Amino acid sequence: MITEAFMRKIAMFVDVDNLGLSGRQFKEIFDDVNSAGKIVYGKIYGVIDRKHKEIIDLIVNRGYDMAPPMRVKKRGSKVFDNRILIDVMETVVANEKIDTIAVACAPADLVPLFSKLREYGVSIMSLDNLDKESSFFVDDVILGECDEDDEDDSIEELAAGFAEKTSGADKPSATPEPEISAEDENSAEEENEEAPEEEDADEDFEDNEAFLERVKNVFSGLSPDDIEEEEE
């Protein structure tokens, strides 16, 4: 059994944003690096509260440092975070006990960094996603999966969704015929039924005039026979 005094002292740098790591994938990388020695320092890049809760819990419990996503980066792109270069060298220079650097990041030309680490006598661990020249300096490959090609929303998907939402938006719509409510229909029927009654009303009015004329004649002393003779 290897005692802690002889265990490798590892500083780990992982870019969860540009690698598109899930909580499970980050845990796999962490376990593999941790099995190679003792992680005495860690820094995790591209951490977002709402997206990496599981990862943040592990980082906080271990006392690792966190860095927010890159300030200048095209949305959905996977690029190398240049802050890793500076942080790795500062960590090695500041702590002589660290003898191994574990880097999990997006593919990049890491030959200048790795060659400088070799000058300091530092071993290198990395994911198997680097170019041939950079991989030449790697002593141990970190086992783990990453989703470098996974983007939140592809341009094609966004365009298709927009086309679906706007389809038919510019087409003129036919003028809808006015709807007739039940109340309007009933009102129309009542008007039609009342129309003939106006003629009846006129006839009734004439009958009333004749009746009033007869009443007037009665009060003036004329008999019904006299009224008929006058009318003739």
Cα distances (Å, whole numbers) of residue 118 to 42, 112, 124, 131, 139: 20, 10, 8, 18, 10
Could you give the CA distance from residue 197 to residue 192 in angstroms, rounded to a whole number? 10
Could you give the CA distance from residue 71 to residue 54 in angstroms, rounded to a whole number? 23
Question: How much is the mean pLDDT over the chain?
Answer: 76
Q: Are strands 100-104 and 140-142 parallel, antiparallel or unpaired?
A: unpaired
Could you give the CA distance from residue 85 to residue 75 in angstroms, rounded to a whole number? 22
pLDDT digit string (tens) for 203-213?
Answer: 554 555 665 56
pLDDT digit string (tens) for 110-146?
Answer: 999 999 999 999 999 999 999 999 999 999 999 876 6
pLDDT for residue 182: 58
Q: Give the global pTM.
A: 0.62
pLDDT for residue 227: 52
Spell out, as residue ranges, where the chain has pLDDT lower than 70: 1-5, 73-76, 145-232
